Amino acid sequence: MIKSYKQVSSKERTKIWNESFSGYQTSMSMTEEQLDNRLKHLQLCEDSSFIMYENNKPAGITLYGEKIIKNQKIAWVGGLAVHPNFRKNGIGVLLLNQVENIAKNSGVSTITLEVITENIGALKLYERNGYQAKRKVSVFEGELPTGDNNRLFFKQVENQLINDHVTIPWQNRRNHEHQVFQIEAKNQGIVGEIVCDFDVAADMVIIYQLTLLETKRFKEVLIALKQTFEIKYFKALNLHTDSYEVNLIKEQGFEVMMERYQMEKILSEKIS
């Protein structure tokens, strides 16, 4: 039996989510409000996200969303997990089959998802079911450096929902209401741009995209972030592992906290 996310009470679906992600490589535990906000913020669909039951007991949960990217309808799996009581019973395959049925009925051309590189079991499951690892993304977290900044400042601009490059991960795209700032230098004008959010409770800026005209300014940008917004920490989320941004972060001595594969399954040929 399958029920949509919206057909299940907030209390029950949150309990299923937390139990299904128990033992995961990173904490996925959420409150009812946090789980609902995940769907809202990441533009996932309550009708297409679902909970699967076996013998009237929850066996797994999947969050699902769709959007048009570069004239193609793309689906993203924003979380898929099997309940501990039903692992190694083929439930993961059934969840993926249901995702594919939903996607095909909606005219989706490609299904995408991420998997932690160390999660070998999940990686093999996806590969057996036709998913291919296309790119690797990295997550960094650390304390912003201290220093004097009197050259750079940040000018917030309207998020114009520019159609980001197709390889930008779902969570990092501008159309999730992230904040966008032009990075400007005195007597020089615009020298870069940052797409980010602020987690006040964690005293942290979360960086989704960073573009610099001069890479030598990277440390200066970090110092300016700390001084301008009076925050202590930063997290760089899902940056392409082979990008210049990741190289710059590593050069400053920050270590990778986590790596994920971006995986795709093609359902229909793309139309140019």
| Single residue among 60, 89, 108 that ends a domain in this structure | 108
Give the pLDDT confidence of 115-156 residue by residue, as tens digits: 999 999 999 999 999 999 999 999 999 999 999 888 999 999
| Greatest extent of the chain over all pairs of C-alpha atoms, in Å | 69
51, 161: one domain: no
pTM here?
0.91
* Tokens describing residue 182: 């032009």
Find out whether 79 and 62 touch, Cβ atoms under 8 Å: yes
Q: Domain residues for 71?
A: 2-108
91, 177: one domain: no
Tokens 């009708």 found at = 47
91, 183: one domain: no
**Is residue 129, in this structure, part of any structural domain at all?**
no
* Tokens describing residue 102: 């939903």
72, 156: one domain: no
101, 188: one domain: no
Q: Based on the structure, what is the number of domains in the chain?
A: 2
CATH number of the domain within which 186 lies? 3.40.630.30
Which residue in 232, 239, 171 sits closest to 202, CA to CA?
Answer: 232
145, 255: one domain: yes
| Single residue among 108, 125, 160 that ends a domain in this structure | 108
**Is residue 128, in this structure, part of any structural domain at all?**
no
99, 159: one domain: no
The arithmetic mean of pLDDT across residues 55-75, rounded, is: 95
Cα(206)–Cα(58) distance, integer angstroms: 33
**Is residue 135, in this structure, part of any structural domain at all?**
no
User: Cβ contacts of residue 144 below 8 Å, gap of 6+?
Assistant: 205, 222, 223, 225, 226, 231, 232, 233, 234
Query: Which 3 state secondary structure label does DSSP give 178?
Result: coil
**What pLDDT score was predicted for residue 25?**
79
Give the pLDDT confidence of 166-220 residue by residue, as tens digits: 899 999 998 888 999 999 999 899 999 999 999 999 999 999 999 999 988 999 9
Find out whether 73 and 16 touch, Cβ atoms under 8 Å: no
